[in-house]
């Protein structure tokens, strides 16, 4: 699929199933970028904004939101992430790099569990592609083993769902391989240091 989406240069998205280590890689990349004296901003989805907080309540199972409404909320939160004051667009316009821990590829993978994949894609069709997408691949067994230390799991963090989530990610990656977005797929069973080194080489054109 190449639907003519705009690509935002300097937007770096990190994706993977739960337990893949997206947050850890974001932290390591942030530390590495500091040594390069490259201005950057980090963010995450869901965000800490009001819509993002409602989503987190739903993920924790504290409120019940129908799947299609939850998908719409993720899209609304993403719109805030991109276009609110000091959001992604403002940061990129100022010359900063922006690293986001998850982006709309997560919606394609997770919200398509209970909603039509093409419909989920359509409610996110307005959003730009990152110039660089890093996908952390990992077998579901290894990923779920990493989650055993968590005090509680969200509604998606179960092996029975994660295999389907992984398939959704592969469909999303395949759908955008013919775009001009750069894609790096890594085996997240490697050490965070090695993953960071590979990621820094991948985004070297932005440094």
In the chain, % helix, strand, coil (3-state, to 5) comes to 50, 15, 35
d(CA 119, CA 202): 31
Q: What's the sign of the alpha-carbon dihedral 78, 126, 175, 187?
A: negative
Residue 100: inside a domain, yes or no? Answer: yes
Which distant-in-sequence residues (6+ apart) come within 8 Å of 86 by Cβ? none
d(CA 187, CA 198): 11
DSSP helix/strand/coil, 182: strand
| Length, in residues, of the chain | 207
Query: pLDDT value at position 61?
Result: 86
Residue 155: inside a domain, yes or no? Answer: yes
Domain around 187? 7-202
Q: How many domains does the chain have?
A: 1
Residue 1: inside a domain, yes or no? Answer: no
Query: pLDDT value at position 158?
Result: 66
- Per-residue pLDDT of the chain in tens (207 residues, 90 and over written 9): 545 689 999 999 999 998 899 999 999 999 999 999 899 999 999 999 999 999 999 988 899 999 999 999 999 999 999 999 999 999 999 999 999 999 999 999 999 999 999 999 999 999 999 999 999 999 988 888 877 776 565 556 566 788 899 999 999 999 999 999 999 999 999 999 999 999 999 999 999
Residue 207: inside a domain, yes or no? Answer: no
Residue 2: inside a domain, yes or no? Answer: no
d(CA 194, CA 59): 31
Q: What's the sign of the alpha-carbon dihedral 5, 103, 146, 60?
A: negative
pLDDT digits (tens, 9 = 90+) for 116-162: 999 999 999 999 999 999 999 999 888 888 777 765 655 565 667 88
d(CA 71, CA 75): 6
First-to-last alpha carbon distance for the chain, in angstroms, is 29
- Tell me how far CA of residue 74 lies from CA of 54, 60, 87, in angstroms: 10, 15, 16
Query: pLDDT value at position 151?
Result: 58
Domain at 114, CATH number: 3.40.50.300
Q: Which two tokens stand for residue 79?
A: 């719109």
């Amino acid at each position: 699929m190449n639907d003519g989406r705009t690509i935002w240069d300097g937007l770096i998205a990190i994706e993977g199933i739960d337990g893949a280590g997206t947050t850890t890689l974001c932290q390591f990349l942030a530390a590495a970028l500091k040594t390069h004296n490259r201005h950057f901003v980090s963010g995450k989805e869901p965000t800490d904004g009001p819509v993002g907080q409602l989503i987190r309540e739903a993920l924790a199972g504290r409120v019940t939101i129908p799947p299609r409404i939850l998908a719409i909320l993720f899209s609304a939160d993403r719109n805030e992430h991109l276009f609110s004051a000091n959001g992604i667009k403002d940061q990129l316009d100022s010359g900063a790099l922006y690293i986001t821990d998850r982006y709309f590829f997560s919606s394609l993978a997770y919200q398509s569990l209970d909603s039509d994949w093409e419909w989920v894609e359509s409610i996110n069709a307005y959003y730009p592609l990152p110039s660089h997408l890093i996908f952390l691949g990992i077998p579901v067994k290894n990923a779920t083993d990493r989650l055993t230390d968590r005090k509680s799991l969200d509604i998606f963090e179960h092996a029975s769902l994660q295999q389907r989530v992984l398939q959704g990610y592969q469909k999303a990656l395949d759908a955008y391989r013919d775009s001009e977005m750069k894609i790096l797929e890594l085996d997240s069973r490697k050490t965070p240091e090695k993953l960071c080194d590979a990621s820094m080489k991948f985004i070297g054109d932005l440094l």
